[in-house]
Amino acid sequence: MLWSAATEGRLSAYRRFRGSYAYARRLSRKPFREVRLATPAQSGLPKGMSHLLEDERSSAAIWWDKFANFAWRTDWTQVVVIALLSSLGVVAIHSAGIAKDTGFYRSQMVFIALGWVAYWAVSSVDYRLIQIHARRIYLVGVSLLLPIALCAILKADLGSFIRSINGARRWMDFGPFSLQPSEFAKVGALVFLAALLSRLPIGSFRATWLTVVKALGAAAVPFVLIFVQPDLGSALIYLPLSFILLYVAGLTSRFFVVAGVSALVLGGILALDLREYSKGVVEYSESHPEDRDPARAVRGNHEKNAWFFLLKDYQRERIMSFVAPQVIDPRGLGVTWNVRQAVIAVGRGGVSGQGIGNGTQARFGYLPEAAAHNDFLFSGMAEEIGLTGGLLVIGAFALLFWRVVRTASMAADRFGALLAIGAAVVLGTHVVINIGMNIDLMPVTGVPLPFLSYGGSFVLSCFLLLGLVQSVHRHSADGGEGGGSPATGLTA
């Protein structure tokens, strides 16, 4: 037995020597730069010993592995839906301005190209790194709003950089291009709210009231700065954004009951103000029956002495055109004209539509020229692609939102889930309000349609929002799937 054990030991040592000798001869035939040393753990040898490993992979193989990993973790359904919607938007914008060759569609193509660059750049960054800089991102968005809000409050222009356009100051004019800071402030507010609610505990209102106050305060700052521009439509986005994020974060339902009752009280106060406003319009209309647009004639008179100072008269007109159009515009030639023509356009489309480029409402100026390619783009599209095409567009948005919610359910942490849900809320609110006002189910508030309506800042903000969602999907593709988000319990 002793001889056998010694013999086996010598044979094993001989085999290891022969193996190492053959391996060394193979390595000697390779260039030195292709050889690297291995750690003892990698080589399988006892500690303190090492030998040369196989040659490193080529750089092309490494890059191919990175690309394959990137492609595997990307939500391509989201990418395809965005591409389809943005392409359809270019076609619809071209059709809306084909009579006068406005060229808006060319600019929209540039905006979309820049949006894709921003989309892939943001999606390649781990969203947890964005969480680290959430406060800075929020402050940048707010700082962009400050000079515009100041000019709006003082009712003063800052040269051609910030000036009044149709009674509102919303843009910064840099010469070759203009910037609408309110669109980017929404992205910054979303990132900050998601980071805040993911870091602080949420439960009963009594235990977490300070967190709720911080969250609502963070949403209130850009809300007020945008509201005074005035831009009611963009400001309203912050209401569903903040409340839905609080709900998903786990705040008790009692808070939302109280908020709902407060909203009803505010609605009652608004109704009293609108009643007083409508009396003034009716009195003028009866004393001046020849005036075809009485609301325009008395615009600005009520707001000077109104006790409810939060609304401008043109905003009252828009609300009244929805709740009582026969009072504010009995002849249908004033503030209700745009909505009436939008509904006519949708009706003219029928089931199959008039055909691309054959719509008349936008081309012949029945739809407002300033809004036919943005706020009222959907009605012009519906005229050309019909009910079938309109339902397909709505279906594309539904598919997109389902993918976003699914990403939220797969998120590995609370911040990722809240970020994806917030993006869905912002874009979904835009879709509901825009399509609703095009078919006279919502008051006109000037809210554009994501990826379809014309506008560089808005298009870029939409790509940024879904770039954040794509980042959550790519960097937590294995987190929570099947069991829902560990932070929110969401499943899809």
pLDDT at position 429 is 96
User: Could you report the per-residue pLDDT of 106-136, keeping only the tens digit for each?
Assistant: 999 999 999 999 999 999 999 999 999 999 9
113 and 30, same domain (yes or no): no
Closest CA to 402 of 70, 77, 72: 77
Whether residue 53 is found in the same domain as residue 130: no
Classified as helix, coil or strand, 485 is coil
DSSP state of 175: S
Is 186 a member of any domain? Answer: yes
Do 36 and 87 fall within a single domain?
A: no
Look at the block and give the residue holding tokens 């000798």: 21
DSSP string covering 69-115, please?
Answer: HHHHHS-HHHHHHHHHHHHHHHHHHHHHTTTTT--HHHHHHHHHHHH
Residue 100 in domain: yes
pLDDT digits (tens, 9 = 90+) for 228-252: 998 888 999 999 999 999 999 888 8
Q: Are residues 49 and 162 in the same domain?
A: no
**444 φ, ψ to 5°?**
-75, 120
SS3 label, residue 173: strand
pTM: 0.81
Number of domains in the chain: 2
- Write down the pLDDT at residue 232: 87
**Residues contacting residue 41 through CB under 8 Å, at least 6 positions apart:** none
User: Does residue 8 lie within any of the structural domains?
Assistant: no
Residue 151 domain flag:
yes
Cis peptide before 448 (omega within 30 of 0): no
Domain of 44, in residue numbers? 20-57
Q: What is the DSSP letter of 34?
A: G
CA distance between the termini of the chain: 67
Q: Name residues of the chain where pLDDT drops below 70.
A: 1-57, 99-101, 477-492
Of the candidates 211, 239, 213, 215, the residue with the CA atom closest to the CA atom of residue 226: 239
What is the identity of the amino acid at 468?
Answer: L
- pLDDT at residue 124, as a whole number: 92
Residue 63 lies in a domain: no
Does any domain span residue 11? Answer: no
CA-closest candidate to residue 363, choices 340, 337, 381:
381
Instruction: Let me know the angle formed at the C-alpha of 219 by 216 and 222, rounded to the nearest 5 degrees.
Output: 145
Residue 179: φ, ψ to 5°: -125, 135
Cα→Cα distances 389→84, 93, 180, 287, Å: 13, 16, 31, 47
Instruction: Evaluate whether 237 touches 262 at the Cβ level (below 8 Å).
Output: no
**5 within domain boundaries:** no
Backbone angles phi, psi at 162, to 5 degrees: -130, 115
Tell whether 222 and 314 lie within a shared domain. Answer: yes
- In this structure, the answer to whether residues 316 and 449 fall within a common structural domain is yes
Q: Domain check: are 264 and 369 in the same one? A: yes
Q: Are residues 85 and 40 in the same domain?
A: no
Q: In this structure, what are the phi and psi dihedrals at residue 130, rounded to the nearest 5 degrees?
A: -65, -35
Closest C-alpha among 410, 411, 403 to residue 466: 403
In a domain, 318, yes or no: yes
The CA-CA-CA angle for residues 275, 303, 315, to 5°, reads 70
Do residue 37 and residue 82 come from a single domain? no
Q: Are 409 and 375 in contact (CB under 8 A)?
A: no
| Closest to 230 in 3D by CA, of 172, 144, 311 | 311
Whether residues 125 and 29 share a domain: the answer is no
Residue 281: what residue type?
V
Residues 293 and 321 in one domain: yes
> Do 219 and 292 belong to one domain?
yes
Q: What is the pLDDT of residues 352-379, one digit of tens each?
A: 888 888 888 877 778 877 778 888 899 9
Specify whether the CB–CB gap between 396 and 385 falls below 8 A.
no
